[in-house]
């Protein structure tokens, strides 16, 4: 009987550990899903901001173009343009410049709210 009690006690402990493992797995998946959704939301918002600028039209990008499958040259052009702009300002942009850019953006968004 003593061994049966030990076996039953061990099975209870195993079940508790399995439940804890399942709970942790759920938390990890939920956290990863939340991070993925936050990243996707940010990417969509950045795309919306990019669409406001003239850069897509400079690169001959039209709304609805599939840049990955149908127009990789357009996405390469846009990426090259953005990298070039970034390289030109990365070492020279100051906090005052960022504040000026913020004000320009706020004013534009106020005037052109959709």
The whole-number pLDDT of residue 72 equals 94
The whole-number pLDDT of residue 94 equals 93
Gyration radius of the chain over CA positions: 26
> How far from chain centre, in Å, is Cα 7?
49
The whole-number pLDDT of residue 1 equals 67
**All residues at 6 or more sequence positions from 59 whose CB lies less than 8 Å from its CB, including other chains:** 74, 77, 78, 81
- pTM of the predicted model as reported, rounded to 2 decimal places: 0.67
The whole-number pLDDT of residue 42 equals 96
What is the distance between the alpha carbons of residues 5 and 7, in angstroms, rounded to a whole number?
A: 5
CB 79 within 8 A of CB 55: no
How many other CB atoms are there within 10 angstroms of residue 82's CB atom? 13
> How far from chain centre, in Å, is Cα 40?
4
pLDDT along the chain (114 residues), means of 10: 86 92 91 92 94 94 93 95 94 94 95 79
The whole-number pLDDT of residue 5 equals 87
The whole-number pLDDT of residue 113 equals 75
């Amino acid at each position: 009987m003593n061994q049966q009690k030990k076996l039953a006690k061990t099975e209870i402990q195993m079940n508790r550990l399995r439940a804890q493992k399942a709970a942790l797995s759920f938390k990890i998946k939920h956290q990863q899903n939340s991070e993925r959704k936050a990243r996707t939301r940010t990417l969509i918002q950045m795309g919306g901001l990019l669409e406001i600028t003239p850069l897509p039209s400079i690169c001959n990008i039209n709304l609805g173009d599939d840049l990955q499958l149908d127009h990789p040259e357009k996405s390469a052009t846009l990426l090259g343009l953005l990298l070039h702009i970034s390289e030109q300002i990365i070492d020279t942009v100051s906090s005052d410049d960022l504040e000026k850019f913020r004000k320009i953006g706020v004013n534009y968004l106020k005037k052109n709210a959709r």
